[in-house]
Amino acid sequence: MRILTGIQSTGTPHLGNILGAIQPLIERSRQPEIQAFAFIADLHSLTTIRDGQIRQANTRAVAAAWIACGFDTDTHFFYRQSQIPEVCELAWYLGCFAPYPMLANAHSFKEKSSRLADVSAGLFTYPVLMAADILLFDAQAVPVGKDQIQHLEITRDLAETFNRQYGPVFTIPKAEIQDHVKVIPGTDGQKMSKSYHNTINIFASEKELRKSIMSIVTDSTPLEAPKNPDTCTVFRLYSLVASPEEIATLRERYLQGGYGYGQAKSLLFEVLWEKFRPQRDRFNELLAHPDEIEKILQLGEEKARQLAQDKIRTVRACLGF
Ligand code: ADP
Ligand code: TRP
């Protein structure tokens, strides 16, 4: 089975991205029947980032995160969207099948265009480019967050429209909503997200990581009083990364009282710092040697392009090009 997912190059992946998207895909890709496609949606990032150097740094950080977390780039497919020109070609073709109202009424477009001062045609056709990412490689399953459901519906719609006229050219993909994956809370208790400035960067230095953990918002229960672990962001984060015994011990301490949030934060820091040590070391080593990242990506792109070229040949033939 082919599963495919993309992450935009809009920053260094945070703990929410790692636990919510990157690690689950890596775990699944270890099953023998799975062929995984993980790519960097650097073209999509142009809808929000215009600075090329920033984009390049973000692209490297996203690539390094996938590699550092253990994605097997030899067995699977790993590439930058921008290096597969067939993606843009297919996006143009699909765009000519996309009814204007379908794109104009998409929630994500309406939401983004109401917020932004500058609304580009690229923002409008964002879902068409995403459909091209998916259909070009005949992905069967696409693991995404809830906010992407409508984009997958648009993708299916475009594939069905095309197939109705030209025969079974595209595989109809299914969205796999990551419901089983918990929503990882950020330092303010709401969903961890770049847009809320509440992220925890597991690749950061000791000082930075400690600072973000210490900034987690807690209530004002006095030190002596018992505390409710289930409503505390520090405990919720700890539960995602510590061992069952460690979690049980911390729960006890909360319930007994006489244990402060500062102490719990120190524990959380220790677990995160130790648990992600190998990933952090590899990530920093990769960033110090960008040529290594480049080499891995280029190999992946060569492999992905072969599939892309085969598919685009079929599509061109259907369309009389
Ligand atoms: P952000 O909200 O920081 O911009 P993205 O929307 O780019 O993150 O998310 C990329 C991937 O990471 C998606 O698959 C998304 O579902 C997952 N993800 C992001 N934040 C979280 C979170 N707090 N908890 C679980 N998964 C998350
Ligand atoms: N739009 C997705 C997001 O913001 C990123 C993305 C681009 C993607 N192309 C994709 C995800 C194809 C899955 C499949 O999260």
Tell me if 25 CB under 6 Å of ligand 2.
no
pLDDT in tens, 194-247: 989 999 999 999 999 999 999 999 999 999 999 999 999 999 999 999 999 999
At 146, is the pLDDT very low, low, confident or very high (cuts 50, 70, 90)?
A: confident
Q: Which residues pair with 7 in a beta bridge?
A: 40
For residues 18-41, average pLDDT: 95
Q: Are strands 35-41 and 77-80 parallel, antiparallel or unpaired?
A: parallel
DSSP 77-93: EEEEGGG-HHHHHHHHH
To test the ligand 1 pocket, which listed residue (7, 9, 17, 202) has its Cβ within 8 A of the most ligand atoms?
17
Q: Is there a contact between 86 and 43 (Cβ–Cβ < 8 Å)?
A: no
Please indicate, yes or no, whether residues 78 and 8 belong to a single structural domain of this protein.
yes
Domain extent, residue 38, equals: 2-183+289-319
Joined together, the tokens standing for residue 24 give 């689950």
Please indicate, yes or no, whether residues 167 and 216 belong to a single structural domain of this protein.
no
Question: Residue 294: which residues within 8 A CB-CB, separation 6 or more?
Answer: none
Q: Based on the structure, what is the number of domains in the chain?
A: 2
User: ∠ CA 31-35-36 to the nearest 5 degrees?
Assistant: 95
Please indicate, yes or no, whether residues 151 and 212 belong to a single structural domain of this protein.
no
Please indicate, yes or no, whether residues 160 and 268 belong to a single structural domain of this protein.
no
In a domain, 171, yes or no: yes
pLDDT in tens, 82-117: 999 999 999 999 999 999 999 999 999 999 999 888
In a domain, 197, yes or no: no
CATH number assigned to the domain comprising residue 29: 3.40.50.620
Tell me if 12 CB under 6 Å of ligand 1.
no
DSSP 185: B
Longest dimension (CA), the chain: 76
Please indicate, yes or no, whether residues 165 and 219 belong to a single structural domain of this protein.
no
In a domain, 189, yes or no: no
Of 57, 133, 138, the C-alpha closest to 314 is 138
Please indicate, yes or no, whether residues 123 and 256 belong to a single structural domain of this protein.
no
The residue whose two tokens read 């091209």 is 132
Q: Which residues pair with 37 in a beta bridge?
A: 4, 77
Q: Cite the beta strand spans of 156-288 per DSSP E.
A: 174-177
pLDDT in tens, 270-314: 999 999 999 999 999 999 999 999 999 999 999 999 999 999 999
DSSP 5: E
Of 1, 8, 2, 11, the C-alpha closest to 194 is 11
In a domain, 76, yes or no: yes
Nearest CA to ligand 2 atom 14: 5
CATH number assigned to the domain comprising residue 212: 1.10.240.10
- Counting every residue written for the chain, the total comes to 321
Please indicate, yes or no, whether residues 44 and 177 belong to a single structural domain of this protein.
yes
Please indicate, yes or no, whether residues 12 and 151 belong to a single structural domain of this protein.
yes
Please indicate, yes or no, whether residues 33 and 171 belong to a single structural domain of this protein.
yes
Q: Is there a contact between 65 and 110 (Cβ–Cβ < 8 Å)?
A: no
Please indicate, yes or no, whether residues 117 and 237 belong to a single structural domain of this protein.
no
Please indicate, yes or no, whether residues 176 and 56 belong to a single structural domain of this protein.
yes
Q: Is there a contact between 73 and 298 (Cβ–Cβ < 8 Å)?
A: no
Nearest CA to ligand 1 atom 2: 193
For residues 160-179, average pLDDT: 94
> Cα separation of 308 and 80, whole Å?
13
Nearest CA to ligand 1 atom 4: 194
In a domain, 284, yes or no: no
In a domain, 136, yes or no: yes
pLDDT score recorded for residue 180 = 66
Helices (H), 37-183: 52-68, 85-95, 100-104, 107-115, 121-124, 126-135, 149-166
